[in-house]
Amino acid sequence: MATPVKDPLTGAETTGHVWDDSLQEFNNPLPRWWLWTFYGTIIFTILYWVMYPSWPIGNTYLKGIGNDITYKTDAGEEKTTHWNMRALLAHDMQNGAEAIKQQEYLAKVGAASYEQIAQDPDMSSFVRSYGVGMFGDNCAACHQSGGQGVVGQFPNLVDDDWLWGGDTTAIENTIRHGRLGYMPAYSKTFDETQLNQVANYVLTLSGEPAVDAAAAAEGQKIFQGQAGGCYMCHTKEGTGMHAQGSANLTDKVWTIANLPAAETPEAKLEAVKAVIHNGVKRQMPVFGKDGRNLSDTEIKVLVAYLQQMSGGATAQ
């Protein structure tokens, strides 16, 4: 080994490298504190590898020394796995005090009647908080988060006015089995005069002024007779039938024809004409079996929640 080169001025050992004739590289030992910190990080790393899931080995990896965790997967299967944060989170969400309370309430609501739910303040407030989440996850995309719907596309669920009926059985059936709202298009059946007549009559059914009163009188004959056959679904009086989801035309609630956006009687007439001309076809999806598979209790929570949202009534 060559004798270490020393800097003549300080006496410190140098590596022997010299730049620019005078710049030398000293060969000082590393500071102690730095060295120990460095060793410390190495020890920490090894301990970490042993204690936590970490280092890959072939097809597998070090799994750590924590206790195994059992939790339910999204598919509902029970799974036991080595300790890891994700499983721990799932386990805590399913077994924490809040989660257990939630399971208890779900079981209680599942076993209760709608009257019992409505009368019990605890169950009612559970339905409100759990229902708002379920509604947000499953329904709000179409019916909007407040349940107010979109005229022409998705009915308003909070106005206590129902196409298919607003008692708990009807709402439950709607959610479980879905609904197809269908009205034929009259574009080929009616000429412009007939369309104008029947649309004028429809306006008068809910007390809107007809744009042309004489036409409305003719329209009544079409509506109530074979030429239009509207009465077969909407009844002669125009009140609609829950069994068919045919809208009540005598109330001022519009679900397809966008009358709320129409300001003049002419614009309202056009809105009604458009529905008759184009017909209606819209689908409420199936949320029970073979659909989106909500459980009976989940459907029950939604029904009770909608009852609360629409004013708590079991009415029309």
Binding residues (CB under 6 A) for ligand HEC: these are 138-139, 141-143, 154-155, 157, 162-164, 171, 174-175, 179, 181-184, 186, 198, 202, 223, 228-230, 232-234, 244-247, 249, 254-257, 272, 275-276, 280, 282-285, 287, 302
CB of 209 to ligand HEC, least distance (A): 16
Length of the chain: 316
Tell me if 83 sits within 8 A of 91, measured CB to CB. Answer: no
CB of 206 to ligand HEC, least distance (A): 9
Give the residue with the Cβ less far from ligand HEC, 111 or 243: 243
> Is residue 230 part of an annotated ligand binding site?
yes
CB of 257 to ligand HEC, least distance (A): 4
Helix/strand/coil percent split, the chain, to 5: 45, 10, 45
Q: How many CA atoms lie within 13 A of 251 on its CB side?
A: 15
> Is residue 142 part of an annotated ligand binding site?
yes
Give the residue with the Cβ less far from ligand HEC, 87 or 118: 118
| DSSP-H helix ranges across 56-96 | 85-95
Structure tokens belonging to residue 187: 């574009």
> Is residue 241 part of an annotated ligand binding site?
no
CB of 122 to ligand HEC, least distance (A): 23
Q: Give me the DSSP letters along 242-304.
A: TTTTBPPSSSS--SSS--TT--SHHHHHHHHHHHHHH-EEEEEPP-STTTT---HHHHHHHHH
CB of 290 to ligand HEC, least distance (A): 15
Give the residue with the Cβ less far from ligand HEC, 143 or 300: 143
> Is residue 143 part of an annotated ligand binding site?
yes
The residues facing 13 across adjacent strands are 6
Residue number, nearest CB to ligand HEC: 181
Residue whose tokens read 């890891």: 84
The Cα-based distances of 165 to 26, 33, 168, 170, 313 in angstroms read 91, 78, 9, 5, 12
Give the residue with the Cβ less far from ligand HEC, 117 or 249: 249
Q: What number of other Cβ atoms are within 10 A of residue 52's Cβ?
A: 17
> Is residue 177 part of an annotated ligand binding site?
no
> Is residue 82 part of an annotated ligand binding site?
no
Give the residue with the Cβ less far from ligand HEC, 181 or 210: 181
Tell me if 79 sits within 8 A of 71, measured CB to CB. Answer: yes
The DSSP secondary-structure symbol of 4 reads: P
Tell me if 147 sits within 8 A of 309, measured CB to CB. Answer: yes
Give the residue with the Cβ less far from ligand HEC, 71 or 155: 155
Q: Which residues are annotated as a binding site for heme c?
A: 139, 142-143, 183, 230, 233-234, 284
Residues that constitute the known binding site: 139, 142-143, 183, 230, 233-234, 284
